[in-house]
Structure 1
Amino acid sequence: MMKITELDVIKTIMDNITYRGDVVKGIGDDCAVFKLGNTYLTVTTDMMFRSTHFPDILTPFQIGMRVITATVSDICAMCARPLGIVVSMGLPTVERGFLLELIKGIDYACRKYSCPIVGGDTNRGKELILCGTAIGVTDNPVYRGGKVGEDIMVTYDIGRVYCALEILKMKEKGVISRKTFYDLWEEYPNIMKKLVEPIARVREGLLLNKYVSSCCDISDGLKKELFYIGNFEISSKKLLRVVPKDVIEFCDRFQIDPIHAALNSGEEFELLFTTKRCDDIFEVLRSECEGEAKKIGKVIEEGYYIDGEELEFGGYIHSWE
């Protein structure tokens, strides 16, 4: 049986949906967009399964935080303001304590992002399934797809989630003991924190709105998200500036190429964007939220390159056998 990927499923859907209505932006971006008077409504949804999206080290509180963060991050990718979210839950037999902590985590993240939970649905499931659907508003939705000559930039840093998952893999495969696992957790706290408590860049997205021509969030890995920009040339030297020191140290210790880690680190939820106004962005992020962003390359006329070598499409892609 031939493997079918999520890209095949999405293409099949797009090829067979004939009614588009009055949507401004439909399938193919981080959010759908509708025009309402002088403003735009952005809508996105994200489904997560216990077996594939929530590592065992996550507490129920952190699981609740994650579904909100992942969904709101798509709103940030449109440089829009979160307005509200509904969360549907497929629940197996769960302890009341687990459920209470899960809800507390959802509530905490909703408060953090000023995005109240306003409804949802509950049903029985074979495993924990959480689906968030968020709504945002903006007067200037920012889509994917950069313009030739623009700089490609990333907020803060990337690579930590990849390293955290490597620590988990080593434990699961018996390469390291349980004690060594927790020793590494203590030794690399920021690496583990990026995995268990990622942050959606709400403030940064709003600040970037008038300065960027395209934007998306890094959820499936930079190696995949770069292709949403269009044609590009990135520099490994510049990319290394986005890789924090603890990731460099970890990669050196465990013989991992830090460039590979940066390109394949998913669920970072940093913003990847294009602009001709780098200096303005440096200043507005620094002054308004003590934030930062760094250049990693440029949008070009044709091709997909890193240091002159062709970069193959990659990242995390759901598939079915």
Structure 2
Amino acid sequence: MPTSEFDLIYRYFSSLGAGPAVDLSVGDDCAILRLEPNERLATSVDTMVEGVHFPEDMFPEDIGFRAVSVAASDLAAMGARPIGMTVALTLPEADEFWINTFSQGIAQAVSEYRLPLVGGDTTRGPLTISVQVMGALPADKALLREGAQVGDLVYVSGTLGDAAGALAFLNGEWHPEPDAAEFLLQRFHRPRARVELGRELLGKATSAIDISDGLLADAGHIAAASGVSIDIECGRVPLSSALNSHPDSESKLKWALSGGDDYELCLTLPEEVPTPEGCTRIGRVTKGQGVKVDQDIDFTAGYQHF
């Protein structure tokens, strides 16, 4: 007898919906979430399509974790406290092994981000995962793309270019040593949304964005929204030792500046504010518009969806 949609939901996902902000979770027509007094709701949705946003042979557990991390990164960029999410899953077939393994990745992300799964949908079609996340913000605070001021310093969290380096390895364009390859693949398969950092930056950062489409493209969104120029010093852009093992310095820099998929934060801070832990200063906000770099290299604009 074919497995029904409701059997799949209850068997693999119904245990993931508990959380302090959840009044009603999976099992009814809607979930009910509770905000604290003087809080606002922040929400965002991200869709991943097989063969476009992840390789066709990617392990289902990694797909589940990555899908949640990508969406949770938007909460991090706003400084929001995670309160719940929904997952819409389109499957070519009801493969229970795949769904079981996928649900384990979702469960790991639920635990890591304290982001309960409170609802969703399943349907038949090409493999596609859409994750909608919901978070809470103080009534008077949020990290926005607008707000960067001339004289602010520009920072990024973590290291950049690792996901692009991993894709180069997967595509046979580079053959790093095993330890470096393992690190880069982990960074691509299991990105970590900087949720705690985002919350720490509330009331401190003048602007922020998560780096999904590449540093140049995403810093450009801050520049456009704020009406300023973002000037980047390429030598300051942080690279991992794994990425630095690549022999070509231009390739590494291109991956770091325009590769995308790292899901780190790019942010601006007034000069007097101390450097946040785990962040690196890479430039300054100046008068003008757009993003400027101090090296003459032919960079791509970042990931384009169409």
TM over 0.5: yes
Shift of 1:278: 6.1
Q: Find the residue that maps to 1:188 and give its secondary structure.
A: helix
SS at the partner of 1:295? strand
Tell me, what secondary structure is at the counterpart of 1:122? strand
In the alignment, does 2:152 pair up with 1:156?
no
| Cα separation, 2, equivalents of 1:187 and 1:311 | 26
Residues in 2 aligned to 1:277 and 1:154: alpha-carbon distance in whole angstroms? 15
- Whichever residue aligns with residue 159 of structure 1, its letter is G
Cα distance in 1 for partners of 2:178, 2:264 equals 22
Q: Scaled by the length of structure 1, what TM-score is found?
A: 0.76
Following superposition, the deviation at residue 224 of structure 1 comes to: 0.6
Instruction: Give the aligned partner of residue 3 of structure 1.
Output: none
Retained in 2: the 8 A contact 1:211–1:277?
A: no
1:234 maps to what in 2? 232
SS in 1 for 2:274: helix
Match of 1:58 in 2: 58
Q: What is aligned with 2:267? A: 273
Bigger drift between 272-281 and 208-217 goes to 272-281
1:162-221 Cα shifts (integer Å, max 9, x gaps): 111111111xxxx68xxxx6x744443211210111111111111111210111100111
Mapping of 1:150-189 within 5 angstroms? Answer: 150-170=152-172, 184-189=177-182
Give distance in 1, aligned partners of 2:152 and 2:189: 34
Q: 1:255 to 1:39 in 2, by over 3 A?
A: closer
What is the CA-CA distance between 1:75 and the residue it aligns to?
0.5
**What is the RMSD computed on CA atoms of the aligned residues?**
2.3
Contact 1:151-1:278 at 8 Å conserved across structures? no
Q: One-letter code of the match for 1:192?
A: L
SS in 2 for 1:52: coil
Task: Find the aligned partners of 1:78 and 1:52 in 2 and give their Cα distance.
Answer: 26
Partner in structure 2 of residue 259 of structure 1: 253
Q: CA deviation at 1:71?
A: 0.6
In structure 2, the CA distance between the partners of 1:70 and 1:112, relative to structure 1 (3 Å rule), is same
Q: Which runs of 5+ in 1 are unaligned?
A: 1-34, 286-291
The yes-or-no answer on 1:133 pairing with 2:132 is yes
Q: Which residue of 1 aligns with 2:195?
A: 202
Contact 1:89/1:123 (<8 A) preserved: yes
Match of 1:108 in 2: 108
Contact 1:40 1:141 in 2 (8 A): no
TM-score under structure 2 normalisation? Answer: 0.80
Could you report, residue by residue, the CA deviation over 1:79-105 in whole angstroms, capped at 9, with x for unpaired residues?
A: 111110000111111421111011111
User: In 2 relative to 1, CA 51–298 (structure 1 residues): closer, same or farther, beyond 3 Å?
Assistant: same
Match of 1:293 in 2: 279
Q: In proportion to residue count, which structure has more helix? A: 1
Name the counterpart of 1:16. none
